[in-house]
C-alpha cells in the first residue's frame, strides 16, 4: 500500500495542516478524526487495515486530515460563537483547500466520500449535507448530530448551520434536496455501551430524512455493539462492501 504524509499551509486556518494519503487509485475518502483525534488516528486504531482490501485493489484511496476540534466545538473555554467560527474556518480548509489539492493531485473531479467515527461521524454527515456538490456519499458511524451537545442551548447562525438535526428540517431548497436524493447517505449506530446520544440523534436524523423523502440507510446494530473501535473496524468494510455490491464504488 502506498502511504504518503503531506502538509501545506492553510490560509483559512493560518497554519500548516498535515494529512496522510493511503492508496494509489479509486474514489477518494476523506476521514474526519474522532474527538480531538490526530491525522494518523485512523491508521493507529486499525481502520486502514480493516479496509485494506478496498485500498489495495484501487477501489478507494483514503485521506486523513488533522482535526481542529480542540480549538472549535471541544474548546469549552471559548464562547459558542468562537467555537462555531473556528469550525467554519476548518470547513473552508476542507472544502476549498484540501479537496482542491486532492483534485489537482489526482486529476479527479468526481464526488468524495465523507466518513468518520464518533465526532468524525458528525463531521462526515455535516460536511455531506452542507456541501453535496462536493461529497456524494457519507458513512457516519456512531455520531452525534446536534450542536447543542457541544455548546448547550446557545444558538446563532453559525451554530445553527452546523447542527444537522436542526437545519435539515428547515432546508427546502430543491437544489440541496435533489443532491441529497441523488447521493448515498449511510448513518449507523450501535445500541450498546456509550451509544445513547448517538442513538437519539440518529433517530432524529432518520425522522427528518423520512419527512423530506430523502433516501438514507439508517442502520441500528445490536445491543452488544459499543461505541468503540472494534465495532467500527467491522462496520466500515461492511458498508464499503455493500456500496461495492450496489456498484456505487
Look at 79 and 112; give whichever has higher pLDDT.
Answer: 112
C-alpha cell belonging to residue 92: 473552508
Alpha-carbon span 12 to 4, nearest angstrom: 23
pTM of the model: 0.97
Torsion sign, CA atoms 172, 79, 90, 11: positive
With a CB cutoff of 8 Å and minimum separation 6, the contacts of 187 are: 121, 125, 138, 140, 143, 202, 205, 206, 216, 217, 218, 219
Residue 36 has pLDDT above 80, yes or no: no
Task: Tell me what pLDDT residue 155 has.
Answer: 79
CB atoms within 10 A of CB 64: 27
Q: Which runs of E-coded beta strand occur in 174-239?
A: 184-189, 217-220
Q: pLDDT band at 157, cuts 50/70/90?
A: confident
Q: pLDDT tens-digit profile of 41-68?
A: 999 999 999 999 999 999 999 999 999 9
Q: Which helix (H) or strand (E) holds 170?
A: helix 164-170
pLDDT band per the 50, 70, 90 thresholds, residue 27: very high
Domains and CATH numbers, the chain: 3-245 (3.40.50.1820)
Q: How far apart are CA 216 and CA 218, in angstroms?
A: 6
Helix (H, G, I), strand (E, B) or coil at 32: strand
Distance of alpha carbon 26 from alpha carbon 95, whole angstroms:
20
pLDDT tens digits for range 177-218: 999 999 999 999 999 999 999 999 999 999 999 999 999 999
* pLDDT of the residue at 35: 87
Residues paired with residue 64 on neighbouring β-strands, in sequence order: 20
What is the number of alpha carbons within 13 Å of residue 216 lying toward its C-beta?
Answer: 29
| CA 88 to mean position of chain CA atoms | 15
DSSP string, 47-65: HHHHTHHHHHTTSEEEEEE
CB 232 within 8 A of CB 192: no
Q: Is the pLDDT of residue 80 over 90?
A: no
Amino acid at each position: 500500500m502506498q502511504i504518503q504524509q503531506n502538509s501545506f499551509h492553510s490560509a483559512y486556518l493560518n497554519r500548516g495542516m498535515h494529512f496522510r494519503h493511503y492508496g494509489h487509485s479509486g474514489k477518494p475518502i476523506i476521514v474526519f478524526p474522532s474527538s480531538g483525534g490526530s491525522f494518523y488516528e485512523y491508521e493507529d486504531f486499525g481502520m486502514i487495515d480493516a479496509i485494506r482490501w478496498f485500498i489495495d485493489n484501487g477501489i478507494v484511496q483514503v485521506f486523513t486530515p488533522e482535526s481542529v476540534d480542540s480549538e472549535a466545538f471541544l474548546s469549552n473555554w471559548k464562547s459558542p460563537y468562537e467555537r462555531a467560527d473556528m469550525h467554519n474556518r476548518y470547513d473552508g480548509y476542507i472544502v476549498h483547500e484540501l479537496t482542491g489539492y486532492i483534485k489537482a493531485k489526482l486529476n479527479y473531479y468526481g464526488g468524495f466520500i465523507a466518513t468518520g467515527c464518533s465526532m468524525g461521524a458528525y463531521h462526515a454527515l455535516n460536511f455531506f449535507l452542507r456541501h453535496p456538490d462536493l461529497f456524494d456519499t457519507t458513512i457516519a458511524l456512531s455520531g452525534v448530530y446536534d450542536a447543542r451537545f457541544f455548546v448547550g442551548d446557545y444558538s446563532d447562525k453559525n451554530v445553527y448551520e452546523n447542527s444537522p438535526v436542526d437545519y435539515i428540517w428547515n432546508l427546502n431548497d430543491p437544489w440541496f434536496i435533489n443532491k441529497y436524493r441523488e447521493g448515498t447517505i449511510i448513518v449507523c449506530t450501535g445500541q450498546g455501551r456509550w451509544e445513547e446520544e448517538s442513538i437519539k440523534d440518529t433517530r432524529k436524523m432518520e425522522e427528518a430524512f423520512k419527512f423530506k423523502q430523502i433516501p438514507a440507510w439508517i442502520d441500528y446494530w445490536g445491543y452488544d455493539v459499543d461505541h468503540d473501535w472494534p465495532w467500527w473496524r467491522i462496520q466500515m468494510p461492511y458498508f464499503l462492501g455493500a456500496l461495492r455490491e450496489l456498484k456505487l464504488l
